[in-house]
Amino acid sequence: MTNGVKELIALAVSQVGIKEKYSNGHWVNNSKYNQWFGRIPGYGEDGYGYPWCAAFQSWLLDKTGLKALGPRTASCLATVAWFKARKRWSAYPALGAQILFGPGGGTHVGLVVGYDRSYVYTVEGNTNVSGGAEGDGVWRKTRVRRDTNVYGYGYPDYSGGSLSADPDASKFGYKYKEVATVADLTPKATAPAKTRVVTVKAGQTLSAIAVAAGITLATLLSLNTGIKDPDKVQAGDKVTLPAAVPSTPKVTTTPTPKVTPKPTVKPKPKPTKTTPKFTAFPGAKYFGPGKSNKYVTQLGTALIKHGYKDFYKVGAGPKWSESDRQAVQAFQRSQGWSGTSADGIPGKETWDRLITGKNIQPRVKAVRATRMSASTGRASLTYSNNLDGWIREALVVMKAHGIPGTYEGIHRNIIRESGGNPRICNTTDINAQRGTPSCGLLQTIAPTFKAYHVSGTSWDVFDPVANIAAACNYAAHNYGSIDNVNGPY
């Protein structure tokens, strides 16, 4: 692909190791990218001391001649809004996509330069290699694809697209590829293109040289990988350009009289019936806790396609997760099934409907069912899918397990901890610095959630009822009850 994706990534990689200003024992955010972007009132360093991860992304697009493909901003939230407004937002990584982190994507942003089934490989500005909270420069990073801190991806509208792990990649003009690196953007080897070298004259810019040569600035930079800053070019510098294509002289020939042959009538070919490929149900043994295989990915992809995308924070993958179970169960209930026919594990009928797309009943998303009742331990009641409903449902679960707590005590602590947002994470406190951010309604860290998880609830820390139940179970063991908690716990 010669549409700028490779050139953008190459420029990003060339910046690795460039650092911001260091003053009085601290990195102070003032970088060459801040200087390019401009002052923002209210920040130190004469208005240049603001976080610059988003400004770095804007700089990359500008210097490769692709500035129309993303926002010119220093705000991660503005970046998210820009891509979402253009319907170019995905839960899957893609080469040349911007990866956003934190609640609402407002914490940090980087550039995707590669990805596989488990990790995303990036170049990020205003970060570090030590893992500390203070960024100092441009660095390569390796991110866990399914980390809860990954919010999503903005897809620039590259001419000719790029490569993406999104099964629906074509809607962005991208091509689907499960695993991709920059090398996959390079077409099969052909004879090397001829080049020429020109000398920069006084007053010339790289953009002007590119226009005169009839190429884009991105193409020029791809031929001159030693240029790290497109703004810094001096008279006397050497620049490589594609060789000029010599004009081909016209050859005059004597026209040969046309002889019109008699038309030959070909018999119409008989239509052949084509049967779409269909993967037969492999068996229930391939699904459930601890399973990891291609059928889990195929199942998750089908669920997303048929309207169950909201169960997946990152997307379908080969490792069976609680997201898969919940999505399958929701699908089964929407088909009118119950009991063991809606246990969240796919059988042949579930598989056949999802894979073929036939006989599927529309999804029902009205209410949320309890995981167990106090008397029978089986799902029976329904609650509204809001804070009131989540607390009331959690109280039923807690009662069945002998966990103390009242509506008022739970509600009071939720409002203090998360404001009632079940998807929020604290990405700045000491827990986040240790790699275990506090998440969910009652701001539970992963080790605590796992240790005090209540049987019968989801294993997803962002599940409202599971989060409440686990936090209240923890409070019961350490404070006697969630009612006794009146501050950070």
Sequence ranges of the domains in the chain: 5-185, 195-242, 284-365, 382-484
Provide mean pLDDT across the span 333-359. Answer: 84
Give the per-residue pLDDT at 1.
44
Give the per-residue pLDDT at 262.
61
Give the per-residue pLDDT at 188.
57
Give the per-residue pLDDT at 133.
60
Confidence bin at 265 (pLDDT 50/70/90): low
Exposed, middle or buried: residue 169 (CB in 10 Å: 0-12, 13-18, 19+)? buried
Higher pLDDT pick, 333 / 379 = 333
How far is residue 252's CA from residue 230's CA, in Å, rounded to a whole number?
Answer: 46
Which CATH fold would you assign to the domain 195-242?
Answer: Membrane-bound Lytic Murein Transglycosylase D; Chain A (3.10.350)
User: Measuring CA to CA, which residue among 76, 132, 107 is closest to residue 425?
Assistant: 107
CATH of domain 382-484: 1.10.530.10
Provide mean pLDDT across the span 317-323. Answer: 88
How does DSSP classify residue 127? E
Q: Which residues pair with 150 in a beta bridge?
A: 101
Share of the chain above pLDDT 70, in %: 86
How far is residue 346's CA from residue 327's CA, in Å, rounded to a whole number?
Answer: 10
Give the per-residue pLDDT at 457.
87
Architecture of domain 284-365: Orthogonal Bundle (1.10)
Confidence bin at 10 (pLDDT 50/70/90): very high
Give the per-residue pLDDT at 376.
40
pLDDT of 243 > 90? The answer is no
Helix (H) or strand (E) run with residue 55 in it: helix 53-63
pLDDT of 277 > 70? The answer is no
Q: What is the pLDDT of residues 84-133, one digit of tens each?
A: 999 999 999 999 999 999 999 999 999 999 999 889 999 999 998 876 66
Structure tokens given for 410 = 């739970």
User: Measuring CA to CA, which residue among 31, 33, 34, 35 is closest to residue 21?
Assistant: 31
Give the per-residue pLDDT at 424.
87
Confidence bin at 333 (pLDDT 50/70/90): confident
**Torsion over CA of 83, 84, 90 and 96, rounded to 10 degrees?**
0
User: Measuring CA to CA, which residue among 375, 381, 442, 438 is closest to residue 409?
Assistant: 442
User: Measuring CA to CA, which residue among 30, 6, 4, 35 is closest to residue 19?
Assistant: 30
CATH of 5-185, one of 3.40.50, 3.90.1520, 3.90.1720, 3.10.110: 3.90.1720
**Torsion over CA of 384, 389, 390 and 391, rounded to 10 degrees?**
180
Q: What is the pLDDT of residues 395-446, one digit of tens each?
A: 999 998 999 999 999 999 999 888 888 888 887 778 877 888 889 999 999 9
How far is residue 263's CA from residue 36's CA, in Å, rounded to a whole number?
Answer: 68
Range scoring the smallest mean pLDDT among 191-195, 210-214, 406-410: 191-195
Provide mean pLDDT across the span 35-53. Answer: 92
Can you tell me which residue has the tokens 């205003």? 126
Q: Which residues pair with 120 in a beta bridge?
A: 115, 143
Higher pLDDT pick, 245 / 408 = 408
The rounded mean pLDDT for the chain is 85
Provide mean pLDDT across the span 291-298. Answer: 92
Provide mean pLDDT across the span 325-331. Answer: 86
Exposed, middle or buried: residue 349 (CB in 10 Å: 0-12, 13-18, 19+)? middle
Exposed, middle or buried: residue 106 (CB in 10 Å: 0-12, 13-18, 19+)? middle
pTM for the model: 0.47
How many Cβ atoms from other residues are within 10 Å of residue 9's Cβ? Answer: 23
Please write down the long-range contacts of 454-458, taking CB distance under 8 Å and 24 or more positions apart: 454/397, 454/398, 454/401, 454/403, 455/401, 456/371, 456/372, 456/377, 456/397, 456/400, 457/371, 457/397, 458/322, 458/326
User: Measuring CA to CA, which residue among 289, 203, 193 is closest to residue 241?
Assistant: 193
How far is residue 384's CA from residue 297's CA, in Å, rounded to a whole number?
Answer: 31
Confidence bin at 378 (pLDDT 50/70/90): very low
Distance of CA 249 to the CA centre of its chain: 53
Residues 278-299: b if buried by 16+ CB within 10 A, e if exposed: eeeebeeebbeeebeeebbbbb
CB 341, CB 332: distance < 8 Å: yes
pLDDT of 392 > 80? The answer is yes
How far is residue 220's CA from residue 208's CA, in Å, rounded to a whole number?
Answer: 11
Q: Which residues pair with 426 in a beta bridge?
A: 438
pLDDT of 134 > 80? The answer is no
Hey, is 176 helix, strand or coil? strand
Provide mean pLDDT across the span 186-205. Answer: 77
How far is residue 453's CA from residue 447's CA, in Å, rounded to a whole number?
Answer: 10
Range scoring the smallest mean pLDDT among 75-79, 343-347, 411-415: 343-347
